[in-house]
Amino acid sequence: MQELITFIAGSLVDSPDDVRVTVTEEDDTIIVDLAVAKDDLGKVIGKQGRTARAMRSLLAAAAGKENKKSRLNILE
């Protein structure tokens, strides 16, 4: 899942070297923290949050294969 979010976010931003993804697990939940450069934050969130919502949907589908829940945190 880390590779999935890294690939998507890296494709969207102007500074792919600044993309940082960390994954932690708590019980049955996979928590993914995504950090990008300040100038690229809007590109990752998208208009009205559509891009972030799409990434969360893909993450939920990937986590569902493992019978787990997922949460994507976009950090500033």
Please report, for the domain that includes residue 55, its CATH number. Answer: 3.30.300.20
The count of domains in the chain is 1
**Encoding tokens for residue 58?**
């893909």
Torsion of CA 14, 4, 46, 32, to 10 degrees: -110
Angle between helices 2-12 and 50-64 (to 10 degrees): 160
Task: Give the global pTM.
Answer: 0.88
**Mean pLDDT in order along the chain per 10 residues (76 residues):** 92 94 94 95 95 95 94 93
pLDDT value for 76: 82
Q: Which domain holds residue 58?
A: 2-75
